Structure 1
Amino acid sequence: LGGSTHASVLQGHSYTFEGAQPGLIVQALQKCGCMNPIIYFDELDKISETSQGQEIQNLLCHITDDSQNSEYQDKFLSNININLQNVTLVFSFNDVDKINPILKDRLKIIHTKGFSVEDKIKIGQNFLIPEICKNIGYENLEFSHDLINYIINQYTLKEDGVRNLKKKIEDIVSLCNLRNNIQDADLFKKLSGIDYNLFTDGINKNLIDLILKTKKQDDLISHLYM
């Protein structure tokens, strides 16, 4: 829901509009092939604060109201009632104060703790690193338990999730991939600011520091010109 600006994303457009289609709620029902799925809405607190964003909040109030959600209507499926009473709706958010008071009153709020360091290491090894390497197209790059632990403790310890950890790993893998595809040592150093031969022995703590600190400096410089 983060950044959503209009209820039509969830409720669809009238079939008279060019390119019209059902909203995401009906699409979720179609995809699941049943009337009792679990539908997950992320970033509830990041809905646009405009009048259009308020329409989204009002729609969510409607579908969480047991006295009304048996007759939910998607604009694309004109005048067809859809029973949502057996649908389990799950919302996630960070700031409860930004939730519509009526909607908040209808939610059972469950507070969750952030990941432990060991949880983050397992997520990194089992999910983040394989996904990042696949997306970048770089294979056979190994991060030991100790190296992931080092990245977490030195660069991302304050976060409860793994968003920054993923970003740091992406920075490391991207530069390793660049080094793997550039055979000219001088050109590589000019582009990255890091010595070509430091990658010979694989990933280590010193190399991680060089990559991430150089990346941080580059980001600071780029912001000066924005």
Structure 2
Amino acid sequence: MDVRPVTFAALVEELAERIAAAPGDAWVRVALDGAPAAGPGELADALVGPLRVRGREVMRVSAADFLRPASLRFEHGRTDPDAFHDDWLDYGALSREVLDRLEPGGPGKVLPTLWDATRDRATRAAYVTVPKGAVLLMDGALLLGRWLPFDVTVHLWMSPNALARRTAEDQRWTLPAYARYEEEAGPLDTADVVVRVDDPRHPAVAER
């Protein structure tokens, strides 16, 4: 891959232009995929304004609000990287309650949150109507290679050393899960856009 350095502001504008250019009046479902250290949530938040300037309404959803209950996540302990990779995120609920509802001809009503992991209980959020032509921006980790129906996928990639350096000490047990994800899901090959963020202040777009 060729790597093209960009500023964060330029990256946001470039992605906003690409997403807003999607044809038709259907919804556009966008994944901002990356480990927390890569900042997928920050990038998703930064895209909201530029997309609205381009005439696209935006619905923000975080995959972290669709975790499974603690009894399922911690069935093999609280620091099991394979369980983190396979069992923490409720992929079925993400499809059923969010992404499938924005299929062409779908109802256009999504559940913005499902589970409060801190309190370990359902959020009991109400469904939200997403206007036709709007963009769903979903940030999260380990989103690709799961048969989730996204229209545009952006993967924020960090080298193993950078990821280890920028991951909090109490979260470094998750590193083997990200290594497994890169090997099995191949996000560098499957994402529509790959952005290298070893230093989030100086991103670089990786072009095939």
> In which range does the TM-score fall when normalised by the shorter chain?
under 0.3
Q: Give the TM-score of the pair, scaled to structure 2.
A: 0.28
Q: Give the TM-score of the pair, scaled to structure 1.
A: 0.26
Task: Identify the structure with the greater helix proportion.
Answer: 1
* Bigger Rg over Cα: 1
Highest RCO, 1 vs 2 (Cα 8 Å, sep ≥ 6): 2
